Chain A
Amino acid sequence: MKTRAFIKTVELCFAVVVFFFLNAGAFAGSPPAQEVTYRLKWLLNISVVGDLWADVNGNFARRGLKVTIKPGGPERDAIKELELGRSQFGVASADQVIRAASKGAHVVVLAQLFQVNPLQWIYRPDRTPVKTPQDLKGKTIGITYGGNDEAIMRALLAKYHIRENEVKLYSVRYDYTPFYQGKVDLWPLYRNAQAPIIGEKLRKAGERVAFLNPFRLGIQFVANSVVASKKMLEQHPRTVKRFMEALLEAWGEALDPANKQKAIDVVLKYNRETAVEIVRRQLPATRSLMLPTADFRFGKIDVAAWKQTEQIMLAQKMIAKPVHVETLLKPVVQ
């Protein structure tokens, strides 16, 4: 009896061991996808086409990541979410990064999305020609007090020795009525997302529009970049690398002219409010701001531009002391 029981026990153990070995490959071969949250800076529009592309086309999934993309907005701050642990990756503008670093936040920049700041000023060249910066004198210029455009415009005026009392600064808000009415000569907008909409309206009204691009006048104020916490980079470097590889690959694909229609479809899938014709115009405008030349490497961090951004913020007393922004720039994927 005892021998039989012993044999049965051995058989059972053997069966368990065989089952384990047979299935070990299966257990090891399909690790659960790692979940991370990615907080964008703004709503789901053309400026996040690459992020949405990665979600739709499985760029994240192929690298074993399950990414929850959350839209941003005026009251959202990705850097605060990183610190609070609600997101692992985010999109923030350079001024947010520098301001956060100046207040002790440990944030790193992984890639720079826009090489040219999309924040520009629309104007009517027939009514208010602006051929040189000196033409700004006497004009009414819209700015969002406290916003990026205020810093950029003040830097521009300072660079060209235009005193504040030589222009009239006008506090802008969401609706463009003062610009349509001609009360304001130059109005700030996002060149890729808003300009196709506003420009179209004015063209329909028979008016010509042009854009004042501070970048062309030597003002480099970096816009959106991909950020993470320093802790995340140090503790999970492989996750960060996989995320960035997937993201940069997706952006490259989304901005590839060969994938134009697919990219438009991706935007329209998430944003049904914008007409397809508008998205069609927004896409090349976005491409030119992110890939200024045909052979440009997407996501490259422009260190000089970051340093200039820091200098502008220091000069305008937006930060109390230097943060040495170059130490925050960590492009993990070249």
Chain B
Amino acid sequence: MLYRRLYQFFIIYFLGLASLMAIKYGLQLSDYVIPGPSEIAQTGLRVSGRYLLNVLNTLAVAILGHILAIVLATVIGIIGRLTAWISSFIRVAAYNIQAYPIVAVAPIIFILLGDGLSSRLLIAAMICYFPLLLSFIGIFSEPVPEIEHFFEATRRMNWQLQIKIRAFENIRKLITVVVGSATLAMVGTIVAEFIAADAGIGYSIRIALYQSDLAKILVALFLIGICTSLYLVLLEWIGYRIRRRWEIPEGGLK
């Protein structure tokens, strides 16, 4: 899985790079507009060590933010299933808050929390939290009558059991949502760093933009792609392990 994910990323990245080079040489653009391959390679050699540390810094914050968002979405999702009114209220709040562009909200967050780790963490969590929340509310509010009926009839049903049944029945959906939101966590962290932080790859990209240095940005994108792919593979592997443990094999129980 890891090998395939990485080589697929390499294909996408190098196709993108080849398109840029085709535009550069086709339109005879200078290295100021699109840097040449040698400049990109030299920049890569020069900054990749530093940028890798920055990407890992960003990834660490993204993972923390992602975990925070999953925990929050689970808790709110469970509360949201209590009544249809609460569920609807949370959905409306989520849709509205998600509609606010993060660039407009970020300055308020930075005024309240400063430009340290907490702001980056909060923005990362905010960006991936709402898609998670909406999916979790949907899944936890959706009854599984054929199973729940038995426990209700035998008066053994409680809310923990209900959540377990619904999560168990929708485990594939839950894993897909969690894996999908991981990229949002990474994007959220980079956006937070880009707007107003003094660490991470988003901050490095901002500086490179000030310097009109596209070569640095291309190197940063390459490293972000690799690290995000690795994180996604890790999540998929965890999901696979969970599914193997929870799901009934296709041939049935022996």
Tell me, yes or no, whether B45 is within 8 Å of chain A by CB: no
Indicate the member of A79, A103, A174, A175 with the most B CB atoms within 10 Å: A103
Among B32, B110, B195, contact of A99 (Cβ-Cβ < 8 Å): B32
Q: Are A175 and B29 closer than 8 Å at their CB atoms?
A: no
The chain B residue with its CB closest to the CB of A77 is: B212
A-B contact count (CB 8 A): 60
Q: Does B198 contact A (CB under 8 A)?
A: yes
Q: Decide yes or no whether B2 CB sits under 8 A from chain A.
A: no
Bound Cα distance A79, B212 (Å) = 10
Contact B196 A103 (CB under 8 A): no
How far is the CB of A331 from the nearest CB of chain B, in Å? Answer: 23
**By the criterion CB–CB under 8 Å, are B111 and A175 in contact?**
yes
CB pair A79–B210 under 8 Å, yes or no, is: no
What chain B residues lie within 8 Å of A103 (beta carbons)?
Answer: 30-32, 35
Question: When the two chains form their complex, are residues B32 and A104 in contact, meaning their CB atoms are under 8 A apart?
Answer: yes
Q: With A96-B212, A146-B206, A175-B110 as known contacts, state yes or no: A106 contacts B30, CB within 8 Å.
A: yes
Cβ of B207 within 8 Å of any chain A Cβ, yes or no, is yes
Contacts of A61 in B (CB 8 A): none
Does residue B107 face the partner (Cβ distance < 8 Å to A)? yes
Task: Evaluate contact between B27 and A80: CB separation under 8 angstroms.
Answer: no
Please report the C-alpha to C-alpha distance between residue A177 and residue B112 in the assembled complex, in whole angstroms: 10
Contacts of A144 in B (CB 8 A): 210
List the interface of chain A (C-beta within 8 A of B).
74-75, 77, 79-80, 83-84, 96, 99-100, 103-106, 144-147, 171, 173-175, 177, 318
Kindly list 12 other residue pairs between chains A and B, CB separation below 8 angstroms, not including A103-B32, A105-B31, A145-B210.
A74-B209, A77-B212, A79-B32, A83-B30, A84-B33, A104-B31, A105-B32, A145-B207, A171-B115, A173-B110, A174-B107, A175-B111
Between-chain CB contacts (< 8 Å), 27 pairs:
A77-B212, A80-B32, A80-B33, A83-B30, A96-B212, A99-B32, A100-B30, A103-B30, A104-B30, A104-B32, A105-B30, A105-B33, A145-B207, A145-B210, A146-B207, A146-B208, A146-B209, A171-B198, A171-B203, A173-B110, A174-B195, A174-B196, A175-B107, A175-B110, A177-B110, A177-B111, A318-B211
